[in-house]
Amino acid sequence: MKKFIVGTIAALMSFVVPNKVALISSPIPAPKPALSAPRFIVLQARSYGVAVSVLQRILIQEGFLALKPESGYFGAATEKALKAYQKAHNLPQTGTFTIPMNNLPAFFSSAHPSFTPLKTGASGSQVTSTQKFLIKSGHLKSSAATGYFGSTTRAGLKAFQKAHNLPQTGVVDKATFWAMNGK
C-alpha cells in the first residue's frame, strides 16, 4: 500500500511541476446548492400517471386516439397518436410531450375543466393510474393496481402526502395531484 501511495504522489508531482500547476492552498469551495425543482414534465414511451391520462384525453378529444377510457400508460398507441397529432400541427414528430411547469394548470384544465378530487370509493382509469404511481414510488404496498380507491390506496396516498409535506387527507386534491405529476 505504501508503495502505491508513494507512486501516486510521484506521478502527481511529475505532472504538477512540469506543467506549472499550482497546488491548492485556498479553502475548499462550498458545495453547490441542491438542484432546483424540475422545470418540465416530459411524457414519453413507458411514462404513466395522471398527466399521461390527461394527454390521452386530449388526443381522444382531438380524434387522434381511439382508446377509451384513457389508461394512464404511454404505450405504442399513445405514441402513434401523439406523432399523428404533431404531424397534423406541423410540429416535429418526436412522440414525446413536454409540459413546462408554469403551464401545468392550463394543461390539466384543458382536459379537466372542473377538477374532481379522487377519494375512497372512486373507481376507474384515474384511480388505476394513481395506484400504479403509488406502487412504483413505494408508497402503496400492493402488487397490482385494482382501479378501486379503497383503504389500501388511501393509506398509500397518505404515505405519499406525508413524504411530500402535504396535508395527509388521503384524497387526491389539486396539491397532491400536482405533486404526483411534478416529478
User: Looking at per-residue confidence, does 21 or 96 come out higher?
Assistant: 96
- Residue 148, pLDDT score: 94
Domain span at 78: 40-111
Residue 91 located in a structural domain: yes
Mean pLDDT value of segment 167-176: 85
Nearest residue to 82 via CA among 70, 92, 73, 95: 95
Residue 16 located in a structural domain: no
Rounded distance between C-alpha atoms, residue 54 and residue 32, angstroms: 36
- For 130, the grid coordinates are 394513481
User: How many structural domains does the chain have?
Assistant: 2
Q: What is the pTM of this model?
A: 0.46
End of a domain among 111, 143, 162? 111
Residue 104 located in a structural domain: yes
Rounded distance between C-alpha atoms, residue 104 and residue 183, angstroms: 12
Q: Is the pLDDT of residue 45 over 50?
A: yes
Same domain, 140 and 102: no
- Residue 83, pLDDT score: 93
Mean pLDDT value of segment 96-105: 80
End of a domain among 111, 141, 163? 111
3-state secondary structure 9-51: HHHHHHHHCCCCCCCCCCCCCCCCCCCCCCCEEEECCCCECHH
Residue 21 located in a structural domain: no
97, containing H or E segment: strand 97-100
Same domain, 45 and 88: yes
- Residue 13, pLDDT score: 45
Same domain, 146 and 171: yes
Residue 147 located in a structural domain: yes
pLDDT tens across 108-161, in order? 766 655 567 889 999 988 898 899 989 999 999 888 899 999 999 999 999 998
User: Looking at per-residue confidence, does 45 or 16 come out higher?
Assistant: 45
Tell me the CATH number at 155. 1.10.101
Same domain, 81 and 48: yes
Mean pLDDT value of segment 54-79: 85
Residue 57 located in a structural domain: yes
Per-position b or e across 50-64, b if 16+ CB within 10 A of its CB = bbbbbbbbbbbeeeb
Residue 120 located in a structural domain: no
